[in-house]
Structure 1
Amino acid sequence: MVLSEKEAGRSLSSAAARGDTAEVRRVLQDGRVHPDTVNEFGNTALQVMMMGNTNVACLLLESGANPNIQDRFGITPAHDAARTGFLETLRALVDYGADVNIPDQSGVLPIHLAIRAGFRDMVEYLAPRSNLGHQDTRGENALDIAKATCAPDVVELLERQLESSLAFQS
């Protein structure tokens, strides 16, 4: 069964948004659909997937989905995972090549979102992988955001990571 590109994008995105791994697999295989086929809103299945469903993420990524795809606002799946706190999904994205240093249109990195949302485990994972000195369009870096959100444990974590990075560069 070969679907038109429009039908394929809608079908794949719908299954991914529901977290229906079996249906995603069926559409990819039976429908011969590329995982980056867009739906009627211009988004791929990876962009609209049920973020907490790591199985769907892995299936799409194994099938060749672009882990660094950006929407019209520059938001990547890594931004979405960091914002919503789905660490296992973020790990899968990174394992398949997601770059956690791609800023969105506002210059925001995934770590900035994780800090604002209060996901300490996400910040711990992202800190050694992120450009902590990167500033968003408001001129704020990760440490500035942590200080503004009154998260002393995250401030301490980021300061240790920055010290470690500086020592490594020396």
Structure 2
Amino acid sequence: MVLSQMDAGKALTAAAAKGNTSEVQRILEECRVHPDTRNEFGRTALQVMMMGNSKIASLLLEKGADANVQDKHGIAPVHDAARTGFLDTLQVLVENGASVNIPDQNGALPIHIAIWEGHRDVVQFLAPRSNLKHANQSGQTAIDVARASCVPDMMDSLFAHIHS
């Protein structure tokens, strides 16, 4: 089955967004679609995948997807995983070369986003891997964001890794 580049990107991203692992695998293998093929909105399957489906992330990365692909706003899959709180997906991304120190267009690292969203387990995973001195465009480091957050114990989650 031969798909045009646009149709292939559309089919792959649609299957990834729905969390349909078997369809993603079929498109990658039978149709021989590269995992970084973009859809009509210029986004890859890794960028639009159902974040809670770490199997799709693993499959796409195993087939050669770029773990650090960014959209026009500088948002990478690690930012999305941090925002949504899916630690298992974030771990798969990092294990496959995703950098946790890529800033988005506002200068936010994934750890800034995880703190804002109140995902303590994600913050604990990111803290030892993140540049905690990096400031976003507002001049805030992860510690500043944690201090300003209204999430109970967020500073403890962050400091547990700073002082260990």
Give the TM-score, by structure 2 length: 0.97
CA contact (8 A) 2:115 2:123 kept: yes
CA contact (8 A) 2:101 2:130 kept: yes
Is the aligned partner of 1:13 residue 2:13?
yes
Separation of aligned partners in 1, 2:106 and 2:39: 25
Is the aligned partner of 1:105 residue 2:110?
no
CA RMSD of aligned residues (A): 1.0
> Which residue is 2:157 aligned to?
157
Separation of aligned partners in 2, 1:159 and 1:28: 42
Is the aligned partner of 1:135 residue 2:146?
no
CA contact (8 A) 1:5 1:37 kept: yes
Separation of aligned partners in 1, 2:19 and 2:7: 18
CA contact (8 A) 1:2 1:30 kept: no
Number of residue pairs matched?
Answer: 164
Separation of aligned partners in 1, 2:116 and 2:62: 31
CA distances 1:145-168 after superposition (whole Å, capped 9, x unpaired) = 01101335221332343344xxxx
Aligned residue for 1:68, secondary structure, equals coil
CA distances 1:47-102 after superposition (whole Å, capped 9, x unpaired) = 00011011111110100000100000000000000000000000000010000000
Separation of aligned partners in 2, 1:157 and 1:6: 44
Query: Unaligned stretches of 5+ in structure 1?
Result: 165-170
Q: Which has the higher helix share?
A: 1
CA contact (8 A) 1:17 1:48 kept: yes
Counterparts in 2 of 1:160 and 1:22: CA distance versus 1, 3 Å? closer
User: What is the CA-CA distance between 1:8 and the residue it aligns to?
Assistant: 0.4
Give the TM-score, by structure 1 length: 0.93
Separation of aligned partners in 2, 1:159 and 1:91: 20
Separation of aligned partners in 1, 2:150 and 2:37: 42
